Amino acid sequence: MKQVPEPEIEGHYKIHYLSHHAVIQQGKETTEICIVYVASATSNVASLNECLHIGPKLNQQILEILLRFTFYRIALIAHIEKAFRMVSIDSKDRDVLRLTWYD
């Protein structure tokens, strides 16, 4: 994430701010409040989900992945969470993935 300088806040051809809200998870020890971004929200224009490129359906590869687990004696698995900030967004797409943040 990076802060958008004041002169760049307006004036671009395509700008979209992701709407978000807090979800309170009762009884959670580590993070009780989780911020959820809603890319399907609409107003008088198309939602971000409607404008994004639809990639291949990855669920069709699940059977192939599960079968590969039977080829070897040892399998390696991982649980990856909280990795969103590690993903880089192409600079031409950043203006449609803006969010409002307050310190």
Give residue 85's pLDDT: 60
The verdict on pTM exceeding 0.85 is: no
* Cα 56 from Cα 58, distance rounded (Å): 6
Domain ranges, ordered by start, for the chain = 6-55
**Which has the closest alpha carbon to 84: 41, 22, 37, 52?**
37
CA distance 27 to 24: 9
The Cα 21–Cα 32 span in angstroms is 14
Task: Show pLDDT as tens, one digit a residue, over the chain (103 residues).
Answer: 677 777 777 766 677 778 888 888 888 777 788 888 887 877 777 777 787 777 777 777 888 888 888 888 888 887 766 655 666 777 777 777 787 776 6
Strand partners, 36: 21
